[in-house]
Amino acid sequence: MELLTVDRKIAPLIVDAVNLHLELKPYEKFTLDNGVPVYAINAGAEEVMSVEIIFFAGNSFEEKNVVAAATNFLLKNGTSKKKAFQINEHFEYYGSFLNRACYNETSTLTLHCLNKHIGELLPVVEELITDSIFPEEELAIFKQNQKQRLSVSLKKSEFVASRLIDSYLYGEKHPYGKYTSHAEYDALNREELISFYNKYYKNGSCVIFTAGKLPPGLFELLNKHFGKLPFGNNFQKPLHQISSTKKPGEKFRITNDENGVQGSIRIAREFPNRHHPDFLKVMVLNNIFGGYFGSRLMANIREDKGYTYGIHSFLQDHIQQSGWLVSTEAGKDVCDAAIREVYKEMKKLQDEPVGEDEMQLVRNYMMGSILGDLDGPFHIIARWKNYVLNDLNGDYFYNAINTIRTVSPEELQQLAKKYLNPDEFYELVVV
């Protein structure tokens, strides 16, 4: 057999990430007997898989604050047949784990396991969806733990700043802007959780995403356990209007700790969601501004001025409205100076087109990030989940790539003039 030899004196060819040919693996779609859609990515070499059931049961649907989050958390804490310990022991016995999470519009149950054990695990997932009983003792523990966690968090300036800036952006009653209190945890009762559970889980609307090295007969197994349940697939997402009592351009200074030495800075404005024609181009502009470690905000405020260990800007990942935020922590004596530098960087982007070298660097960074996000079935299904839940399709992926490759410095300069105006941003410092 002839051995392949490599001449190590010759450097391998370097290809810029922007020139890579990227493709998004398409999903397979199935529909259960009750109309629930299943999106599947069958890929990967390891014998592992995930099943994520996404319910439209986030805090947008609740009539009373923290009911949605409490219901989601306690799904795993007892049925009429099993106590919380037995449920956890079952998943651990098979080397799997079942996570749950609650967001603004959605809540999830996510199972990760070896594919050979999926038949032993799905019946218990079905049991949680159809027979959770929310024991009083489990609710009491949940309330106590959440209040303790909240007490600790409220001492941290970054926690207070993050929840206040959202309330300024959207309003305290908006699902994106409301926040929890000790009194709201105290006011939770079991009957409210059962009512929410019956409406939005047992008889709610959901969609299923599965990925990994999928075993034969998985669709039939999913249909067996979830296809006969009374899930509906006709529902309306609640539409919430921004109801902020604050005005863009307002400046807020909050003292949370008299002895605090660090301030948490948040600068934010409203921004359209992914369906707006400016969104993809602004993603490029945001990366130049403050979206990665080599951004202008990092170069100025961290590397040059030394005001902070890190600063970043980002577009919020919301389905309805969105926001453009700058976030950092700095010594309280330099917070105002750091904010002035943020505004200087905004003005530079308005006054001067981005140079070609910087454009190429950011294009390569963004394309490389997308390449990393396509590494393996779990990353791929996560991207499809984002598209499906935001009413987008695969074209969005290729439009994003095309935008990264072709958006011009002049277009970014015009977008900076349109959106990066300091008097349209809320400004907050919490010490």
201 part of a folded domain? yes
In a domain, 244, yes or no: no
pTM of the complete model? 0.92
Contacts of 2 (CB under 8 A, 6+ apart): none
Domain assignment present for residue 16? The answer is no
Question: Which of 226, 261, 296 is the endpoint of a domain?
Answer: 226
Residue 5 lies in a domain: no
Co-location of 186 and 60 in the same domain: yes
Regarding whether 331 and 279 lie in a shared domain, the answer is: yes
Task: Flag whether 6 is in a domain.
Answer: no
Residues 112, 222 within the same domain: yes
The chain-wide mean pLDDT, for the chain, equals 94
Structurally, the chain folds into a number of domains equal to: 2
Q: Is 90 found in the same domain as 149?
A: yes
416 and 340 in a common domain: yes
- Position 9 confidence tier, pLDDT thresholds 50, 70, 90: confident
Identify whether 65 is part of a domain: yes
Whether residue 39 is contained in a domain is answered as yes
Q: Please tell me what DSSP assigns to residue 9.
A: T
How many other C-beta atoms lie within 10 A of the C-beta of residue 315? 18
Q: What is the pLDDT of residue 13?
A: 72
pLDDT class for 2, splitting at 50, 70, 90?
Answer: low
Domain shared by 134 and 281, yes or no? no
What secondary structure letter does DSSP report for 83? B
Task: Average the pLDDT over each of 279-283, 368-372, 396-400 and give the range with the smallest value.
Answer: 368-372
Q: Which domain holds residue 319?
A: 251-430
Residue 317: which CATH number? 3.30.830.10
Q: Are residues 145 and 216 part of one domain? A: yes
Distance CA 190, CA 192 (A): 5
pLDDT in tens, 78-110: 999 999 999 999 999 999 999 999 999 999 999
pLDDT-derived band at 3, boundaries 50, 70, 90: low
**Residue 146, in any domain of the structure:** yes
| 388 lies in the same domain as 425 | yes
Return the structure tokens found at 269. Answer: 């404005």
- Of 164, 185, 361, nearest to 266 by C-alpha is 164
Judgement on whether residues 285 and 176 belong to the same structural domain of the protein: no
Q: Model confidence over 11-54: pLDDT tens digits? A: 877 777 777 788 999 999 999 999 999 999 999 999 999 999 99
Q: What are the angstrom distances between the C-alpha of 47 and each of 41, 328, 399? A: 14, 41, 33
Which residues partner with 203 through β-bridges?
none
Domain final residue pick, 226, 261, 292: 226
Terminal Cα-to-Cα distance of the chain (whole angstroms): 70
Q: Are both 258 and 344 inside the same structural domain? A: yes
Share of the chain above pLDDT 70, in %: 98
Residue that is last in its domain, among 190, 211, 226: 226
Q: Say if residue 278 is in the same domain as residue 214.
A: no
The verdict on 267 and 371 lying in the same domain is yes
